[in-house]
Amino acid sequence: MSETQEIAVIKTAHGELSVKFWDDVAPKTVENFKTLAKDKFYDGTAFHRIVKGFMIQGGDPLSKTDDPNVGTGGPGHRVKAEFSDRPHVRGVLSMARSSDPDSAGSQFFICLADARFLDRQYTAFGELVGGDDVLEKIGNTPTGPSAGGENSKPLERVGVESIEIVESAVA
């Protein structure tokens, strides 16, 4: 009998991303993400921040509409940081936050490249196990200036249709 574990399947306008969780390094963060996904919190959101060669960011409920405050939304609660020595490299799933280390809620990002300068400052809680081509496609979405002036606002909506938590065989 093979072992199974829960993974997240992120269905986007460009295809599917599959993510394996690191329950051992960030159990509270993993549980928060799974709960939000099971409650359909992420369905209909978008990757609202894309920085070429760095990361794609999603999980803001304000991205369901073209809210001018996109990037500031959350679930109404915060998750205490769970920093680890897992490196922020391509495919790593991590929590976005404000300047307060314990301010993560629902927003997450997936690294497009080596971003080790984030290590021990952001909660890394999983890694991509499928859909690297989709990550690349999303990461290459044309962008323009965001409200803050950063060249990270996608010029076309990169929608998240759903995030499902499913059982998967452990390799």
Q: What is the arithmetic mean of pLDDT over 94-111?
A: 97
Lowest mean pLDDT: which of 121-125, 148-152, 167-171?
Answer: 167-171
Residue pair 129/7 in contact by the 8 Å Cβ criterion? yes
Q: What is the arithmetic mean of pLDDT over 27-55?
A: 98
Return the half-sphere exposure (C-beta side, CA atoms, 13 A cut-off) of residue 113.
7
Q: What is the arithmetic mean of pLDDT over 103-127?
A: 97
Residue 171 has pLDDT above 70, yes or no: no
Please tell me the pTM assigned to this model.
0.96
Q: Which CATH number do you get for residue 60?
A: 2.40.100.10
Nearest to 131 by CA among 7, 3, 46: 7
What is the model's pLDDT at position 148?
A: 86
pLDDT in tens, 128-167: 999 999 999 999 999 999 988 999 999 999 999 999 999 9
79 lies in which domain range? 4-169
What's the structural domain count of the chain? Answer: 1
